[in-house]
Amino acid sequence: MLAAALAAAVLAAAPQTSPGYAWGEREWDDGRGPLSRHYFEYGDRYPSGHDLFYGDRTGSFYYLVFGNRSGSAYFWRYGREAGSSYFWRYGRTAGSEYHWRYGRGCLSETGWREGAACTAAEVVAFQTACIAQVIDIAPCRAINARLDAWLANAGTMSSRPPADVVTEMRRAPD
């Protein structure tokens, strides 16, 4: 009896193997987790609107313009993995157009409607697809509204205006 209770306690304390954060339409509308509208509007860490606007790490608008890995405009245009336009067009797993339309779980229309769990890397790929305007759901509209406000105040942070970088990112690749 004691052994069974001890085993149950150990299993209950074991880390979860299912990845990520709750994601989906219900979570966005009614949730309080990191991928909810509430957290986007009132949170102060990634992936909140505050961190997008004022941060400088992966997932921020600053990184979108000046970074070179997943979550950046550069990676969207020239990368080959999830979070790139190449992968969006030709991939088959999470982060691709195919998966968005026909897949299940995170980064799929079905996952958005029914709920799913997303890893941090999937959240970055989702955010990038939103900014590239290949997905149009409620969080994408919120992200792009913040981005438009950020671009209006960004000025010239380098020799190339950030708005030009985003415009190129949104242009359909040849």
Q: Show the 3-state SS of 50-88.
A: HHHHHCCCCCCHHHHHHCCCCCCHHHHHHCCCCCCHHHH
Distances (CA, A) of 54 to 4, 34, 47, 50, 149: 50, 17, 11, 6, 12
Q: Point out which residues pair with 117 in neighbouring strands.
A: 22
Name the residue range of residue 163's domain: 20-170
Do residues 71 and 124 make contact, with C-beta atoms less than 8 angstroms apart?
Answer: yes
pLDDT at 20: 82
Please give the share of the chain, as a percent, with pLDDT higher than 70.
86
pLDDT at 13: 35
Q: Within a domain: residue 165?
A: yes
**Any residues with CB less than 8 A from the CB of 102 and at least 6 apart, and which?**
108
pTM of this prediction? Answer: 0.85
Total domain count, the chain: 1
pLDDT at 19: 61
| Mean pLDDT value across residues 29-52 | 94
Checking if the pLDDT of 111 tops 60, the result is: yes
Q: Within a domain: residue 61?
A: yes
Output the average pLDDT for the chain.
87
Q: Within a domain: residue 9?
A: no
Q: Within a domain: residue 13?
A: no
pLDDT at 44: 92
Checking if the pLDDT of 16 tops 90, the result is: no
Lowest-confidence segment of 7-21, 44-58, 59-73, 90-104 by average pLDDT: 7-21
Q: Within a domain: residue 15?
A: no
Q: Within a domain: residue 6?
A: no
Q: Point out which residues pair with 23 in neighbouring strands.
A: 116
Checking if the pLDDT of 110 tops 80, the result is: yes
Q: Within a domain: residue 114?
A: yes
pLDDT at 72: 96
Residue type, 127: Q
Q: Within a domain: residue 37?
A: yes
Checking if the pLDDT of 29 tops 80, the result is: yes
